[in-house]
Amino acid sequence: MGALVMSKAITIDGKSVSFIDGQTIMDAALAAGVYIPHLCHNPEFEPHGNCKLCIVSVNGRNMTACTMPAAEDMVVASNTPELDSDRQALVQMLFVEGNHICPACEASGNCQLQAAAYYLKMLSPHFMHFYPPREVDASHPDIFLDLNRCILCELCVRASREVDGKNVFGISGRGIGTHLVVNAASGRLGDTNFAVTDRAAQVCPTGAILIKRQGYKIPIGQRTFDHKKISEVQMEPVKRTEPEHE
């Protein structure tokens, strides 16, 4: 007689979602077709819990779905007006902490921050703009690094370390002074061994890492989020969430 395998399940917004040991709430949700908003999560890389957009209520306590392991009988609430309001405020803070001038950004229409703002029905930044002075680094022959648009998701950090084996990117500073740095004494991307073919060159959810000589190759109006919601795109296989740079 074969052993009876009991599948484990959590409940997300009233829906029973099965999981296997080791999966996070986010893993289980995405596998079951349940969307939880997220910006710094990419199933290719170790979760980091940076953006907090995936915050859900787990048995009454707020936690990040991308880092919280699923455990039997968890009751998770995600799609609630309160949590979406918190998520909208988080996205508004990301907009005012950096310098995001969407109409002048080549990533407009392919940008997950912009798409998340639309998804969460953000109508204005609400908070006072910080207008922080940030660097634009055009020293690399093939890539622009524009820190005005960096939301510190650390996807490039993880991709460079975990996939490319290079550690080109890192995070430095603390609090409002936290910023992305590159692995060169000069601080210039052109002095690192970063290559346009690196996975880290493909993962930026905003226009902070842009490949040169691709500008407006895909016209405005024909870009990923011009015809799809971020929830649809992020539920697709990973390869289809890449920005349309090529």
Judged by beta carbon distances under 5 to 8 A according to partner kind, the member of ligand SF4, ligand FES, none in contact with residue 97 is: none
d(CA 26, CA 20): 12
Distance set, CA 206 to CA 39, 54, 110, 125 (Å): 10, 18, 8, 17
Distance between CA atoms of residues 137 and 147, nearest Å: 8
Q: Which stretch binds ligand FES (CB under 6 A): 2-10, 37-45, 111-119, 221-229?
A: 37-45
Q: Of 12-20, 124-132, 153-161, 236-244, which part binds ligand SF4 (CB under 6 A)?
A: 153-161
Taking CB within 5 to 8 Å according to partner kind, which of ligand SF4, ligand FES, none is near residue 41?
A: ligand FES
Out of ligand SF4, ligand FES, none, what residue 203 binds, judged by CB under 5 to 8 A for its kind, is ligand SF4
Give the residue among 83, 91, 103 at the shortest CA–CA distance from 151. Answer: 91
Which residue's CB is nearer to ligand FES, number 41 or number 223?
41
Rounded Cα gap, residues 233 and 224, in angstroms: 8
Give the footprint of ligand SF4 on residues 199-228 (CB under 6 A): 203-206, 208-209
- Give yes or no for residue 105 binding ligand SF4 (CB under 6 A): no
The rounded distance, in Å, linking the Cα atoms of 143 and 137 is 9
- Residues of the shown chain interacting with ligand FES in the complex, contacts defined by CB under 6 A: 38-41, 49-54, 64, 66
- Residues of the shown chain interacting with ligand SF4 in the complex, contacts defined by CB under 6 A: 150-156, 180, 203-206, 208-209
